[in-house]
Amino acid sequence: MIKIEGISKEFKEGLRAKKVMAVEDLSLDVHKGEVFGFLGPNGAGKSTTIKLLLNLIRPTSGRILINGMNVSDKEVRRLIDERS
């Protein structure tokens, strides 16, 4: 149902565009009906991963599929955001 394939997200911070690797090469699968524990210490990249999953931000690399469709797909937007 949710498939994350090797995603990384790098932020460029501040005037000097200092690079911050928020998520590095993360892969995971969550199947329908599964209870998935998404845990990690502060700064591990949990919130960034959820933002990527919601298509609020774009990954630097890798891809995220919902029911086999990319999260940026219009059909996925329709499924998870009733405003669009």
Ligand X SMILES: Nc1ncnc2c1ncn2[C@@H]1O[C@H](COP(=O)(O)OP(=O)(O)OP(=O)(O)O)[C@@H](O)[C@H]1O
Give dist(CA 33, CA 4) in Å, integer: 17
Give dist(CA 6, CA 18) in Å, integer: 23
Q: Is 73 exposed, middle or buried (0-12, 13-18, 19+ CB in 10 A)?
A: middle
Which of the listed partners (Mg ion, ligand X, none) does 59 bind, with a CB threshold of 5 to 8 Å by partner kind?
none
Nearer to Mg ion (CB atom), residue 46 or residue 77: 46
Q: For Mg ion, which residue of 47, 67, 70, 72 counts as binding (CB under 5 A)?
A: 47
Which of the listed partners (Mg ion, ligand X, none) does 8 bind, with a CB threshold of 5 to 8 Å by partner kind?
none
Q: Which residues bind ligand X (CB under 6 A)?
A: 11, 13, 20, 22, 40, 42-48
Give dist(CA 48, CA 50) in Å, integer: 5
Which segment (3-11, 16-24, 33-41, 45-53) binds Mg ion by CB under 5 A?
45-53
Binding site for Mg ion (CB under 5 A): 46-47
